[in-house]
Amino acid sequence: MSVLKYSLLRLGAFFIVFAACLLLDLGRFTVLYALIVGLIVSWAVGYLFFNKLRLQAGEQLAQRFGGDRKLGAAEQHDNAAEDAQAEDFHEEQERARQQSRNPQDDDAR
């Protein structure tokens, strides 16, 4: 329901600004100007004033189209390999950090 509310609010804002800009009568560029200004203003209004509704709509769409997707065997294997590589990288960084903190331990060995 959040998606519908947010879409209708954005469309309403667009058409109000679009109609107002059409009244300016800029010659042959009136419709193009009205379209561009309407899109920009409706985006800004939706982003600034309807942020909570925008976030709810985004969450609703994410759940609808990708929330509980099952991973295939190849994708699970790739994810495990990436996790292992990231873990190795962080362990090496931690070892290097510890060695740079205690250089006298290396000299004593």
Digit-coded pLDDT (tens) for 81-90: 999 999 999 9
Q: What is the pLDDT of residue 26?
A: 81
The pLDDT, as a whole number, for residue 109 is 53
Answer yes or no: do 63 and 14 share one domain.
yes
How many domains does one find in the chain?
Answer: 2
Question: How would you label 6-39 residue by residue, b for 16+ Cβ within 10 Å and e otherwise?
Answer: beebbeebbeebbeebeeeeeeeeeeeebeebbe
45: buried, middle or exposed (CB in 10 Å: 19+, 13-18, 0-12)? middle
pLDDT at 107 (0 to 100): 55
Does some domain include residue 108?
A: no
Contacts of 106 (CB under 8 A, 6+ apart): 99
pLDDT at position 105 over 80: no
- For residue 1, the Cα-to-chain-centroid distance in whole angstroms is 20
Residue 109, in any domain of the structure: no
* Whole-number average pLDDT of the chain: 88
In a domain, 77, yes or no: yes
Both 40 and 81 in one domain: the answer is: no
Same domain for 97 and 49, yes or no, is: no
Q: Is residue 4 part of a domain?
A: yes
Q: Using one digit for the tens of pLDDT, what is the confidence trace for 42-80?
A: 999 999 999 999 999 999 988 888 766 677 888 888 989
Residues 46 and 15 in one domain: yes
- The verdict on 49 and 88 lying in the same domain is no
Residue with tokens 């873990």: 87
Average pLDDT over residues 33-39: 94
Shared-domain flag, residues 10 and 49: yes
Domain hosting 95: range is: 71-101
Tell how far CA 15 is from the center of its chain.
Answer: 26
